[in-house]
């Protein structure tokens, strides 16, 4: 079973971003997670292409870029050029999701689709075999540090069932309110990748916290 940890740079110290990037580089984390927010689809603005490019120069792990923006199809090649390895778009923002997923893959990136908390997993039935990632939001997107939505466990289980029944090889990524109290349960429900920002970067020892998250629920 895949057990990836993807620290979210949304919670990093932007006055000394290089330091936090180096902490992740030296840790057991697998990806850097970058949330791109436009202030339109979600009620917040984060950072854009220049920051992604800057992170790419320092990162020694893949960049997992999550587009929380309207009309993401306009920017696919730009994020590829900026250094994205994985590019995930929201189901709720794509008028032609299949086409957008195809374009992401043709550009050489892993393609993901994100579901907001209110969006049913069943809506992925026609697209699931084409995607590499399913990102399940376990909080309402837009801000870090929110409380985890408990019904997310059932949603992850439904996504895992859909993936198995369809023959898809998609991984399940979860993002929002993830910490050491729920990491084991999320892996048990079927999650492959945990995205967490505050839990990692606000801890006294981020590298140790990443290790604990990765090992959550495993027998010692």
Residue 220: what pLDDT?
A: 56
- Residue 188 backbone dihedrals phi, psi, to 5 degrees: -65, -35
Is the pTM of the predicted complex or chain greater than 0.85? yes
List the domains of the chain with CATH numbers. 4-215 (3.20.20.70)
* Digit-coded pLDDT (tens) for 23-39: 999 999 999 999 999 99
* Digit-coded pLDDT (tens) for 136-170: 999 988 766 678 999 999 999 999 999 999 999 99
Residue 219: what pLDDT?
A: 67
d(C-alpha 115, C-alpha 175), whole Å: 10
Residue 144: what pLDDT?
A: 66
Residue 146: what pLDDT?
A: 76
CB 164 within 8 A of CB 190: no
Length of the chain: 220
CB 26 within 8 A of CB 55: no
- Inter-CA distances, 125 with 45, 129, 131, 149, Å: 31, 8, 11, 23
Residue 145: what pLDDT?
A: 66
d(C-alpha 69, C-alpha 205), whole Å: 32
Residue 106: what pLDDT?
A: 98
Residue 155: what pLDDT?
A: 98
Residues of the chain with pLDDT > 70: what percent? Answer: 98
The answer for residues whose C-beta is within 8 angstroms of residue 55's C-beta and 6 or more apart is 9, 17, 21, 32, 34, 63, 83
Catalytic residues: 35, 175
Residues of the chain with confidence (pLDDT) below 50: none
Residue 207: what pLDDT?
A: 97
């Amino acid at each position: 079973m895949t057990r990836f940890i993807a620290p979210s740079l949304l919670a990093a110290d932007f006055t000394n971003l290089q330091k936090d990037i180096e902490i992740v580089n030296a840790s057991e984390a697998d990806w850097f997670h970058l949330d791109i927010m436009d202030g339109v689809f979600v009620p917040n603005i984060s950072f854009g292409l220049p920051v992604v490019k800057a992170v790419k120069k320092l990162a020694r792990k893949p960049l997992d870029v999550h587009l929380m923006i309207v009309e993401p199809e306009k920017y696919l090649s730009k994020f590829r050029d900026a250094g994205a390895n994985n590019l995930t778009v929201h189901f709720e923002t794509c008028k032609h999701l299949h086409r957008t997923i195809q374009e992401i893959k043709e550009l050489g990136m892993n393609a993901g689709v994100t579901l907001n908390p209110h969006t049913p997993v069943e809506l992925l039935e026609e697209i699931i075999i084409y995607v590499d990632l399913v990102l399940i939001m376990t909080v309402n997107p837009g801000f870090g540090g929110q409380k985890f939505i408990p019904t997310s466990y059932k949603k992850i289980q439904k996504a895992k069932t859909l993936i198995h029944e369809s023959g898809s090889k998609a991984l399940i990524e979860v993002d929002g309110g993830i910490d050491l109290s729920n990491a084991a349960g999320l892996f048990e429900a079927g999650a492959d990748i945990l995205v967490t920002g505050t839990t990692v970067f606000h801890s006294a020892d981020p590298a140790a916290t990443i290790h604990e998250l990765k090992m959550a629920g495993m027998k010692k």
